[in-house]
Amino acid sequence: MPFCGGDRLREAYRRAQAERFAFMANNVAEPNILIGLLEASTEARSDLLVQISPGAAKFAGGGDKRAGLRGLSALIRELAAPYPICVFINLDHFTRGEMELIEEAIEDRLVSSIMIDASQEAFEENIRLSRAVAEAAAGTGILIEAELGKIKGVEDEISSDEALYTDPDEAVEFVERTAADLLAISVGTQHGVSKGRDLELRVDLAAKIRDRLAAAGLDAPLVLHGTSGLLPEQVQEMIGYGICKLNKDTHYQYVYGRTATEFFAEHATDILPPEGVEDDVGNLFARGDWSPNKKAFDPRAVGAEIQARVREIAHALIEQAGSSGKTLWEAREDQQ
Ligand code: G3H
Ligand code: ZN
């Protein structure tokens, strides 16, 4: 079963820390991006971390977050089954409003890890909520990621107009008191379309946080959100300072939109009626001579293009993260 739980994920992060690489944590809301990621990760011999945000769950469930979360988790686990890599599922940016869903995901082992995002709350309340989730997951193996600081920009249902950089002193207290397994830090990256060249990246802060945690005997892997706009050299630098998880959503969304735009522009005359032909969508043009071309408008046609393009981009991103060739899958005899 290539869907792997938190115990294996912990092992994967340990290895990433020891060998100085990271995992791209990729948001999914539908199958095309997921399939592109599964193909690329398998070819690269990299384990794959996919994540579901509350907004993605809501979308996939036609407005019903619970149905969408259960549906996406089942889809990922089913599609992952034949691929010879470990596939991990993370809940991304789940907040105090989704506590019941978090409990259900833990209870039914729908995921490998969960991010509780209480970064919008005051310090004490952030600790209280994050700790509550860590306690709920205790003994299940499911890992908990908590965030300290604020990431600027918009990611689904989370938005912040300002960046609040993580305080290294607070980071130690935060990890100790929440018992979080992973710490998401704010060091100048932004959610959404951002430009690496213009960001005020504080790599020094990432290093300080890592050092303070280590001095306190804490080895929580660090997580960087909002990495879509980062330049490859910035990613490398961040990995050097202890980042093990690089969250990515916007980049794939762009690849999706770009591929669809190009595909439909190229096939516009197969789909749109020419001048002078009645626009009879209601009857699928059954009364006239002109017909649209099913090879162009079948969603699977554009879907296949999207899968191929995501696969290509994911290859480059896996290389950047350094996780290629590092899959844990073959390392275990009981799985061969
Ligand atoms: O949690 C998801 C990521 O932080 C998304 O970041 O907008 O740069 O892709 P991004
Ligand atoms: Zn994020």
Strand partners, 182: 145
- Tell me what pLDDT residue 155 has: 74
CB 318 within 8 A of CB 41: yes
Give the number of the atom of ligand 1 that is nearest the alpha carbon of residue 93: 1
Which of 283, 307, 224 minimizes the C-alpha distance to 31? 307
Instruction: Specify the CATH number of the domain 6-257+298-325.
Output: 3.20.20.70
Active-site residue, 92 included:
yes
Question: Rounded to whole angstroms, how far apart are CA atoms 99 and 262?
Answer: 41
pLDDT value at residue 336 = 46
Instruction: Give distance in angstroms: CA of 100 to centre of ligand 1.
Output: 24
Catalytic residue among 47, 64, 92, 108: 92
pLDDT of residue 334: 57
**Ligand found nearest the CA of 53:** 1
Burial class (CB in 10 A: 0-12, 13-18, 19+), 197: exposed
pTM > 0.85: yes or no: yes
* Stretches in the chain below the pLDDT threshold 70: 1, 331-336
Q: What is the pLDDT of residue 150?
A: 87
Which residues are near ligand 1 (CB < 6 Å)? 27, 92-93, 155, 191-192, 225-228, 247-251
Neighbours of ion ligand 2 (CB under 5 A): 155, 225, 247
- Distance from Cα 196 to the centre of ligand 2, integer Å: 16
Q: How many CB atoms lie within 10 A of CB 74?
A: 12
pLDDT recorded at residue 154: 76
Atom number in ligand 1 closest to CA 192: 7
